[in-house]
Amino acid sequence: MARELLKGNIAMAEASIRAGVEAYFGYPITPQTELLEWMSLRMPELGRAFLQAESEVAAINMVYGAACTGKRVMSSSSSPGVSLMMEGLSYIAGTEVPVVLIDVVRGGPGLGNIAPSQGDYNQIVHGGGHGDYHAIVLAPASVQEAIDLTVLAFDLAEKYRAICIVLADGNVGQMMEPAELPPMLPLDRPVPDWAVQGAQGRERRILSSIYLKPEDEEVTNIRLLERWQTIEANEVRFKEYYLEDAEIAVIGFGSAGRVAYSAVRAARAEGIRVGLLRPITVSPFPSARIAELASQVRAFLVAEMNTGQMLADVQLAVSGRAPVEFYGRLGGVVPFPDEILTEIQRIAYRPMTMNGDPRRSWLKRLKSQME
């Protein structure tokens, strides 16, 4: 198929349709509303279910119900809306039904603003809803990746009976780029052997997240953990740029990773041996690859559009074997490449120490730059 100029939100919506989503439930919220609008147009004309729910709370519970039937189902939202969905996500995790959610993250906390942000990393990657569960989290940096990862999200969710979240941000959602959509998949998947569709000619089935006996819940938690370990073993994905001979490794996901790519290229042009690792799965996190890099590079630089949420995961992987520096912009501000280039130059030309919390020194630099 030919490349088309597509807006991220619409590309993710159409990619979901091509991937065979049979029901969409959502609620309008900037900066993801075009996704819902596209679904409102396309789903009914294909004879598939679309419903604008009364709230994100209702939307995720509609998704929960529809997912119990074994159909491919999804929702999409942005940060405050996703907060409201956390209850439902926990129930979905506990019931072990596959669901795809797209979170087009905006600035927060609270009402915040509608600018691109990565402030939901901890909420999405490290939990959010109550109880012991993990979601698979994919972080696109371009419209094409948003398409490809949305399609992948449905496959992974189904394969592992898990929640798969596409963690985008306002930039990915609002940007237009040439991209290629996949062909339309036929809706001929067999009904899974756990789905409830009516007990016709078989024993009735119950889908629930209740395990009243702690021993049963423990067995469930072990099952979920073992499944997660399989996911960790098989599904880690990342993209590398210029890392072969790198002395400095920049790590950034999504839009921040993309800005870092510009900075790394500019630094390479100056002769600085720097490379970029851009996690595609931020959960499971590419810890093993980062651990490997810790014995190759002189220092790491983590670039995020938050106060250093992924930073903690990088530090855990590096385990003190190399200095980890941090640069972030906050509250919906997207860094320009020159800001990250300055950081790379600083690390390249000045001695590094491993003393102290990198966030403290970063905040000092950021504040002096803001003055």
Partner 1 sequence: MQTEIILAGFGGQGILFAGQLLAYAAMDAGREVTWIPSYGPEMRGGTANCTVIISEEEIGAPTVRNPKAALVFNLPSFDKYEPLVLPGGVLIANASLINRSFQRSDLTTVMLPANEIAEALGDKRMTNMVMLGALLQKLPVLSFAAVEKTLQDHLPSRHKHLLAMNFEALKRGAEFAERGVQTTIPNEQVTFNE
Partner 2 sequence: MVTTIPYQIVYSRPESFSEVSTHYCPGCTHGIAHRLIAEVLDEMGLREKTIGVAPVGCSVFAYNYFNCDFVEAAHGRAPAMATGIKRVLPDRTVFTYQGDGDLASIGMAEIMHAAARGENITVVFINNAIYGMTGGQMAPTSLPGQKTTSSPRGRDVETTGFPVRMAEILSKLDGVGYSVRRSLHDPKNIRLSKKAIRMAFEVQSRGLGFAIVELLSTCPTNWGMTPKEALHWVEDRMIPVFPLGDYKITSSVAGIRV
* Residues contributing to the site for partner 1 (CB under 8 A): 3, 5, 30-31, 113-115, 170-171, 174-178, 258-263, 265, 334, 336-338
Number of Cβ within 10 Å of residue 183's Cβ equals 7
- Residue number, 161 or 329, with CB nearest to partner 2: 161
Residues from 3 through 62 that contact partner 2 (CB under 8 A) = 22-23, 25, 49, 51, 53-55, 57-59, 61-62
Q: Largest Cα–Cα distance of the chain, in whole Å?
A: 73
Query: Residues with Cβ < 8 Å from 214, sequence gap 6 or more?
Result: none
- d(CA 134, CA 128) in angstroms, rounded, equals 10
Partners of 177 in the beta sheet?
6
Among the listed residues 178, 154, 193, the one whose alpha carbon sits nearest the alpha carbon of residue 75: 154
* Amino acid at the residue 150: T
Q: Which two tokens stand for residue 2?
A: 């030919």
Segment lying near partner 2 (by CB under 8 A), choices 29-37, 193-201, 241-249, 340-348: 193-201
Q: Does 270 bind partner 2 (CB under 8 A)?
A: no
User: Which positions from 199 to 228 touch partner 2 by CB under 8 A, shown as an x/- string?
Assistant: xxx--xxxxxxx------------------
User: Which of partner 2, partner 1, none does 199 bind, CB closer than 5 to 8 A by kind?
Assistant: partner 2
Q: Does 180 bind partner 2 (CB under 8 A)?
A: no
- Residue number, 205 or 223, with CB nearest to partner 2: 205
DSSP 134-145: --EEE---SHHH
Q: Does 352 bind partner 2 (CB under 8 A)?
A: no
- Residue number, 71 or 134, with CB nearest to partner 2: 71
User: Which positions from 68 to 107 touch partner 2 by CB under 8 A, shown as an x/- string?
Assistant: xx-x-x-------------xx--x---x------------
Read off the DSSP letter of residue 272: -
Q: Does 67 bind partner 2 (CB under 8 A)?
A: yes
Distance of closest approach, residue 72 Cβ to partner 1, in angstroms: 29
Distance of closest approach, residue 324 Cβ to partner 1, in angstroms: 22
Which residue is it, tokens 């490794």? Answer: 249
Phi, psi at 77, each rounded to 5°: -165, -170
When computed from its CA atoms, the radius of gyration of the chain, rounded to whole angstroms, is 21
Distance of closest approach, residue 199 Cβ to partner 2, in angstroms: 5
- Residue number, 16 or 118, with CB nearest to partner 2: 16
Q: Which two tokens stand for residue 69?
A: 């039937």
Options 66, 153, 248, 310; binder of partner 2; rule CB under 8 A = 66
CB 303 within 8 A of CB 335: yes
Partners of 277 in the beta sheet?
240, 251
